[in-house]
Amino acid sequence: MIARKPFFKDEIIKQLGCELALRQVVHYLSNKLASKEDAKVRLCDAFGTWTSFQDHWKASEEFRKEFLRNCSHREAEACAFAELAMEGSLSVHSILLEATSENFLQPAESIFQRPEWVQNQILDIEELMKDSLPDATEDAAQEAAENKLEDALDTTPQETKETKPVQMPSEEFPEIPVADMVQAETKERRSYFKILDIPEWAEDLLQKVSLPTFEHCLAHAKTCPIPSGPSDDSDS
């Protein structure tokens, strides 16, 4: 049997937790914005799933411009953040990885309380949600969002920009018939990792995540860069 470094297995599990956290923060931000009086769009319509991001936001310039045109100022700012996160920004993913290393299923509200968001000038959610935030005109909101998106993409590593999207299932998670739900939910998550030996503690954690969400995050994780960890000369 060929011996494999445990580091690779650990990185796959960490990356999966990162993708789950990414989904949580986007949906949390979308729901927070939807609760404001100036809410005009739902962030999840463009960034809620990997498919909606690829097929609508990235593939259709008309959809993107129309979405931004309907945004309030705060929603345009949130779009810039969501774009950066979904593109696989290392600055965003490093915060998510740090958060999930402390708690694999850490809630989005706790993740947004981390000081790195403000320190690295990525997103100040408290400032974003202030009721005194002025509402921009349609043209100003669109221009501000597009300028910030362009600046954000310029700082994204080249290898991330050139990452090709993978073909994903339908945009919405398929409904599971009640009769098949128990069987589907008890499917072993380790069966998705053909060359890895997933320990019982990791299988137990992954079973707490619904099967559609697990499959969605696993597919997204395949397209995102994995930050390189420290080298271990003893295993060479």
Residue-wise pLDDT tens digits, 53-66: 988 898 989 999 99
Which residues make Cβ contacts (< 8 Å) with residue 231, sequence separation at least 6?
none
Length of the chain: 236
pLDDT at res. 182: 43
Helical segments of the chain, H only:
6-34, 44-47, 50-52, 61-69, 73-86, 90-102, 108-112, 116-119, 125-128, 138-154, 158-161, 178-185, 200-207, 211-221
Q: Is residue 236 part of a domain?
A: no
Dihedral (CA of 124, 128, 67, 30) sign:
positive
Q: What is the DSSP letter of 134?
A: P
Quote the number of domains for the chain.
1
Spatial separation of the C-alpha atoms in residues 165 and 225, rounded to whole Å: 13
Q: Is residue 81 part of a domain?
A: yes
Q: Is residue 136 part of a domain?
A: yes
Angle subtended at Cα 37 by Cα 35 and Cα 41, rounded to the nearest 5 degrees: 70
Q: What is the DSSP letter of 167?
A: P
pLDDT at res. 141: 52
Place of tokens 């998705």: 192
Spatial separation of the C-alpha atoms in residues 226 and 236, rounded to whole Å: 20
**Contact between 168 and 50 (Cβ < 8 Å):** yes
**Contact between 88 and 53 (Cβ < 8 Å):** no
The burial class, CB within 10 Å (0-12 / 13-18 / 19+), for 189 is buried
For residue 139, give its domain range: 1-227
Exposure b/e, 84-123, CB count within 10 A at least 16 = b: bbbbbbbbbbebbbebbeeebebebeebbeeeebeeeebb
Tens digit of each residue's pLDDT (9 = 90 or more) over 39-92: 899 999 999 888 889 888 989 899 999 999 999 989 999 999 999 999 888 899
Q: Is residue 233 part of a domain?
A: no
pLDDT value at 186 more than 70: no
- 143 vs 35 pLDDT, higher one: 35
pLDDT at res. 115: 94
**Contact between 89 and 152 (Cβ < 8 Å):** yes
Q: What is the reported pTM? A: 0.56
pLDDT at res. 15: 80
